[in-house]
Structure 1
Amino acid sequence: QGPLFAETFIVPTRRDIDTRLLIGAAVFGIGWGLSGYCPGPAFASISGITWPLVALLLSMVVGWWLARRI
């Protein structure tokens, strides 16, 4: 059985660990630790919005935008 919306599964081929990966993982872990939210549940928590959640979601969006620009 294959994927529902594609011809085949796309499996990453890169296996190297570079500085960009390590920095991204560290920033992700620090953000998760400081906020107490994993990104998925953070978006799922939008119905019970709080100021710390707003700050987390805005910083995630800004981080994604910056990551695309760098």
Structure 2
Amino acid sequence: MIAGVEYDGRETLVVTFVSGRRYAYAGVPPELYERLLAADSKGKFYNEHIRMLSFVELHAPPGLKPRSAA
């Protein structure tokens, strides 16, 4: 499940999951980000349009605990 998204305006999208994992996707056009925000199901949109893009996993600072999916 997606906990949140960030977009820096320089075509970098960061997706954070409830597990605490964070992935940065470069080369994401603003239109794709806007479509993600407008999607009824962000998870479905992510799986269909973003997941297959090249990414870098961002590491959380030491001591950061993943959020519960409860």
User: Do the structures match in fold with TM over 0.5?
Assistant: no
Larger strand proportion of the pair: 2
Larger helix proportion of the pair: 1
Query: Which is greater in Rg?
Result: 1
**TM-score, normalisation: structure 2:** 0.22
**TM-score, normalisation: structure 1:** 0.22
